[in-house]
C-alpha cells in the first residue's frame, strides 16, 4: 500500500470519526431526575403549600436550550425559559392545595438545534402533610424528609464543577467533577459526601458508551446512564477522587477485622483486602494524616484503616505551626501514643505545636503521655 493511499485512509477515518462525534453531540436528549433511580415512574413527593423543584438536564444540543414545563400534564406548558447550562433545566412551582393526595405527570420539553425532546416528571402531592413539622406525624415527617433529600441532592448537583465532555467517544468515561470549595480539604470532604449521599439514595455511578472495559452489568449501566443524571455526577466524582489517590502501607493492627464495641467481633474480610496496602485520597499529603493523629489519641482503641474517613473534624492548623486557639482543637495528636506507621503518607510534613500549648488539651488522660514538638519522635 502506498504512502498516499495510507494518508487517504487516515483522512477518511478521521473525517468519519469527527462526523460521528458531531452527530452525537447534536443528538438532543432530556433526562428528568428520577426519585427512584431504578424506576423513573415512581413519583417525587410533595405536599400542600411547599414549592416543588422540577429537575432535569440535557445531553447534546447546540448549547442553547429552550426549556418548558407543564406542571399538571394537561398539555399546556406553564413555564418557559432559555438556558445555556444544560445541567440545570430546573424551575420551581407550588401546586394549588389538594383536597386529596394527587399524582401529576409533569412534562418537560426541551428545544435545541432544531430538535425537540420531552420527558416525564411524576409528582405526588400529599394533601394531609402540614407545613409545620411540629404538627406532623411520623409518616408525614417522612414525606417532608423525602422532599428535603430530593432538593438537597439537586443543590449538590448544581455545586459540581465539571471537567471533560462525557459525550466524547474516546475520553467521555474519564470526565471528572468536584464540589468547589475555597479550602481544598473541605472540597474533598464535600465531594466525598456528595458521592456518599448519592449512593445512600440509590444513585450509583454509570459510564457512557465511550467506556472501554468490562462492566458487571452492561445493561444496567446503560439504563442508569440513560435515565439518571446523578449517575453521571457519581462517575465524575469517582474519577476525580481516584486521580488524587495515594497508595500507603497499612500495619497489621489497622488491618484488623474486628468490628463493633463491647465485645468486638471478628468478621470475614473481603478477599484481597488483608494485603497491607491501602489508599487515601486527599489534595495534598498532609490533609488526612493530621486528622488521623488526632483520632488516634482521642480514640485509643480506634481501628480505623488507612483508607477510611476519620470521625473527627478536619483540623485547621497550618503545617507551619499553630496558635494556642487552633492547636487546642487537635493537639491531642501530639500527646502520648505513637502514630501508627500505616497512617503516615510519604512526604507528610507534620505541624509542630509547642508542648506548652498542646499539653492542656491532652490533660491527665491515661492514653496520653509526655507531649513533644519533635516530628521525628513520632515517626
Which one-letter DSSP state was computed for residue 318?
A: B
C-alpha cell at 352: 509542630
Residue 250 near residue 276 (C-beta atoms within 8 A): yes
Task: Give the separation between CA 68 and CA 91, rounded to whole angstroms.
Answer: 9
pTM: predicted TM-score of the whole model, two decimal places: 0.68
Task: Give the separation between CA 7 and CA 5, rounded to whole angstroms.
Answer: 5
The residue that leads in pLDDT, 311 or 162, is 162
**CA nearest neighbour of 91 among 74, 69, 72:** 69
Task: Give the separation between CA 28 and CA 65, rounded to whole angstroms.
Answer: 10
Burial of residue 357 (CB within 10 Å: 0-12, 13-18, 19+) is buried
pLDDT in tens, 363-379: 444 444 433 333 333 33
Task: State mean pLDDT over 102-127.
Answer: 98
- Stretch among 4-8, 44-48, 218-222, 322-326 having the lowest mean pLDDT: 322-326
Give the pLDDT score at 129. Answer: 97
pLDDT in tens, 126-166: 999 999 999 999 999 999 999 999 999 999 999 999 999 99
Q: Listing from the earlier edge strand, what are the strands of the sheet with 102-112?
A: 44-47, 115-126, 102-112, 65-70, 79-83
The residue that leads in pLDDT, 212 or 317, is 212
> Is residue 261's pLDDT more than 80?
no
pLDDT in tens, 336-358: 333 333 333 444 444 443 333 33
Amino acid at each position: 500500500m502506498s504512502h498516499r493511499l495510507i494518508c487517504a485512509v487516515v483522512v477518511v477515518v478521521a473525517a468519519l470519526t469527527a462526523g460521528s462525534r458531531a452527530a452525537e453531540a447534536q443528538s438532543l436528549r432530556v433526562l428528568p431526575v428520577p426519585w427512584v433511580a431504578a424506576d423513573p415512574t415512581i413519583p417525587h413527593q410533595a405536599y400542600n403549600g411547599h414549592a416543588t423543584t422540577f429537575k432535569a438536564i440535557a445531553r447534546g444540543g447546540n448549547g442553547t436550550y429552550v426549556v418548558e414545563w407543564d406542571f399538571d400534564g394537561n398539555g399546556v406548558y406553564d413555564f418557559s425559559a432559555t438556558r445555556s447550562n444544560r445541567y440545570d433545566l430546573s424551575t420551581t412551582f407550588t401546586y394549588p392545595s389538594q383536597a386529596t393526595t394527587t399524582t401529576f405527570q409533569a412534562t418537560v420539553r426541551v428545544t435545541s438545534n432544531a430538535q425537540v425532546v420531552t420527558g416525564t416528571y411524576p409528582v405526588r402531592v400529599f394533601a394531609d402533610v402540614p407545613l409545620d413539622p411540629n404538627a406532623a406525624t411520623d409518616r408525614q415527617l417522612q414525606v417532608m424528609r423525602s422532599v428535603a433529600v430530593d432538593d438537597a441532592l439537586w443543590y449538590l448537583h448544581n455545586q459540581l464543577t465539571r471537567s471533560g465532555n462525557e459525550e466524547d467517544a474516546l475520553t467521555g468515561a474519564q470526565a471528572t467533577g468536584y464540589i468547589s470549595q475555597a479550602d481544598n480539604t473541605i472540597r474533598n470532604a464535600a465531594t466525598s459526601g456528595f458521592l456518599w449521599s448519592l449512593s445512600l439514595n440509590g444513585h450509583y455511578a454509570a459510564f457512557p458508551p465511550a467506556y472501554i472495559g468490562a462492566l458487571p452489568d452492561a445493561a444496567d449501566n446503560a439504563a442508569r446512564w440513560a435515565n439518571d443524571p446523578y449517575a453521571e455526577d457519581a462517575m465524575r466524582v469517582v474519577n476525580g477522587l481516584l486521580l488524587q489517590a495515594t497508595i500507603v502501607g497499612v500495619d497489621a493492627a489497622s488491618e484488623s477485622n474486628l468490628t463493633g464495641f463491647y465485645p468486638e467481633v471478628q468478621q470475614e474480610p473481603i478477599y484481597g483486602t488483608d494485603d497491607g496496602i491501602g489508599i487515601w485520597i486527599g489534595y495534598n499529603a498532609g490533609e488526612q494524616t493530621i486528622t488521623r493523629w488526632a483520632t488516634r489519641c482521642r480514640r485509643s482503641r480506634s481501628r480505623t484503616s488507612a483508607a477510611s474517613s476519620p470521625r473527627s473534624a478536619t483540623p485547621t492548623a497550618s503545617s507551619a505551626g499553630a496558635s494556642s486557639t487552633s492547636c487546642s482543637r487537635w493537639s491531642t495528636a501530639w500527646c502520648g501514643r505513637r502514630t501508627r506507621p500505616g497512617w503516615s503518607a510519604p512526604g507528610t510534613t507534620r505541624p509542630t505545636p509547642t508542648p506548652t500549648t498542646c499539653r492542656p488539651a491532652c490533660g491527665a488522660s491515661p492514653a496520653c503521655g509526655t507531649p513533644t514538638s519533635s516530628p521525628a519522635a513520632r515517626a
